[in-house]
Amino acid sequence: MTDAIHYLPLATCASLLQAREVSPLQLTEHMLARIESLDPRLKSYATVMADEAMANARQAEQEIESGNYRGPLHGVPVAVKDLCFTAGVPTMGGLKVRRGFRPDFDATVVQRLNDAGAIILGKLNLTEGALSAYNPDFPIPVNPWGESLWAGVSSSGSGVAIAAGLCFAAIGTDTGGSIRYPAMANGIVGLKPSYGRVSRHGVMELAGSLDHVGPMTRTVEDAAIFFETIAGPDPLDNSSSQAPIPDISAALHQGIEDLTIGVDWRYIETGTDPGLVDAIRAALDVFEELGVRTIELSMPHCDPMALRDLWLPITGYEAARAHADTFPARAEEYGGYLRQVLEQGLEQSEEDYLAALARREAFSREFTAALAPVDGVICPAGGFVFEVDRQAQYGDTQAMRGVIQHFQGQFTIPADLAGTPGLVVPCGFAPDGRPYTLQLLGSSLGELELCRLGHAYQCATDWQLHHPPC
């Protein structure tokens, strides 16, 4: 057991476990010790499930030794965002009103991880209710690349834990960018699947028609493995897609000469850090060297705040109904930012909501039409990681405006409105050490093509091998 094993790709770790060169028990002990050592500072975990993890590791070890190998997640330590119901384990969702909540069943994604033999190390911190700010009674995860840097919303604990080597993969959710923003901020891989590809059953809602569940990892291959495990139809989720899940892992080893990438430089460059633009240009050169054909196209150009104004009425209306059991009855236990959004949601009429859905549908048609000619559109993952203070992250209205201005929502919100996939991949570093990432946007059910592109890029570069100084 080497000190660097926690940074191995999940796929490599799986091979070592299958070959019995690494013990699930020793690996789990190593990861729990690392969490105990580092997480008091990084605050990525809301609940560490040490006893459960060790019991499951013992079982995995016995099964693998007896030849009963379940697959590539068997014996691999992972973690889940604390929105996902986990039977008998606190599931708080960053909400003070949920501090005592222990569900009596597992979310479908948790059940599928358990069925695959994964070792769940614990539940990961997030913003309050998966919106944009933290409840003042909860800790803020710390970006391992720099304590003053934003760690992303709302799957920030997932992003921090992956980047710092505190788990090999994690569940994230994305309603307006909350898989992709933390992947960007922490310099990791994040896959927001098409809407319905991964069951939402047992996952606390922010906005049911916009919520997506997906994997966060350090490599695209790992994201594909994790996605294949948690994805697929679920009769317990009426929004679950019935489309079969392709064997993405097998397809990763094909070339990508048959694939195309769309480029709209005005879309990429508007409001984007020049260093990140240069990194995306360099990444595009790599894709072209790998045989990918680039096509100039025109993406819908929308001001980030205008997109937020399209997204927020739907989110507020649906969130207010999701919180009906505790809001407004226990409004004093909510942080200011979420409380404000829920109040706005309650003020909306059904007619207002239906009008917002109509605007969403019109925009989504335009966005999906722009994606149709290519296998992926290259762009930023949601901007560039910035410095932020605690007051803003706890939802102070004035300070929060400054944070929201950094959100380049034109790169995140559209795929949530349209239900299309997006893949975030590391692509370099700024001179001061902050990570750069790119995003590939795809058409509905286009996860396979995005992962083929992202995996080929990672095979041709080594950005995923750089880790924060933990």
pLDDT in tens, 158-170: 999 999 999 999 9
Task: Give the pairing type, strands 422-429 and 260-263.
Answer: unpaired
Determine the straight-line distance between the first and last CA of the chain, rounded to whole angstroms. Answer: 18
Tens-place pLDDT, residues 59-88 = 999 999 999 999 999 999 999 999 999 999
* Interval 6-29: pLDDT, tens: 999 999 999 999 999 999 999 999
Q: Is the pTM of this model over 0.95?
A: yes
Tens of pLDDT, residues 340-388:
999 999 999 999 999 999 999 999 999 999 999 999 999 999 888 999 9
d(CA 2, CA 99): 37
For residue 400, name the pLDDT band (cuts at 50, 70, 90).
confident
308: left (phi over 0), alpha (psi -120 to 50) or beta: alpha
Please identify which of the residues 154, 158, 240, 364 carries the catalytic annotation.
154
Is residue 392 pLDDT above 90, yes or no? Answer: no
Cβ–Cβ < 8 Å for 319, 345: yes
Residue 390: pLDDT band with limits 50, 70, 90: confident
Mean pLDDT of 411-438: 97
Q: What is the pLDDT of residues 318-341, one digit of tens each?
A: 999 999 999 999 999 999 999 999
Whether residue 40 has a cis bond before it, omega within 30° of 0: no
- State the SS3 of the chain: CCHHHHHCCHHHHHHHHHCCCCCHHHHHHHHHHHHHHHHHHHCCEEEECHHHHHHHHHHHHHHHHCCCCCCCCCCCEEEEECCECCCCCCCCCCCHHHCCCCCCCCCHHHHHHHHCCCEEEEEECCCHHHCCCCCCCCCCCCCCCCCCECCCCCCHHHHHHHHCCCCCCEEEEECCCCCHHHHHHHCCEEEECCCCCECCCCECCCCCCCCEEEEEECCHHHHHHHHHHHECCCCCCCCCCCCCCCCHHHHCCCCCCCCEEEECHHHHHCCCCHHHHHHHHHHHHHHHHCCCEEEECCCCCCCHHHHHHHHHHHHHHHHHHHCCCCCCCCHHHCCHHHHHHHHHHHHCCHHHHHHHHHHHHHHHHHHHHHHCCCCEEEEECCCCCCECCHHHHCCCHHHHHHHHCCCCHHHCHHHHHHCCCEEEEEEEECCCCCEEEEEEECCCCCHHHHHHHHHHHHHHCCHHHCCCCC
Domain boundaries, the chain: 3-465
Let me know if 43 is a catalytic residue: no
Do the strands 170-174 and 212-217 form a parallel or antiparallel pair, or are they unpaired?
antiparallel
CATH placement of domain 3-465 = 3.90.1300.10
Mean pLDDT of the chain: 96
> Known catalytic residue: 192?
no
Q: CB neighbours of 328 closer than 8 A, spacing ≥ 6? A: 342, 343, 346
Average pLDDT over residues 175-191: 98
Q: Which residue, 219, 231, 180, is CA-closest to 416?
A: 180
Catalytic residue among 43, 81, 123, 192: 81
Residue of 178, 194, 199, 241 marked catalytic: 178
Q: Are 132 and 46 spatial neighbours (Cβ–Cβ below 8 Å)?
A: no
Instruction: Name the CA dihedral angle for 36, 38, 44, 50, rounded to a multiple of 10 degrees.
Output: -20
Q: Give the pLDDT of residue 1.
A: 53
CB 169 within 8 A of CB 224: no
Say whether 81 is catalytic: yes
The residue written with tokens 């990508």 in the block is 256
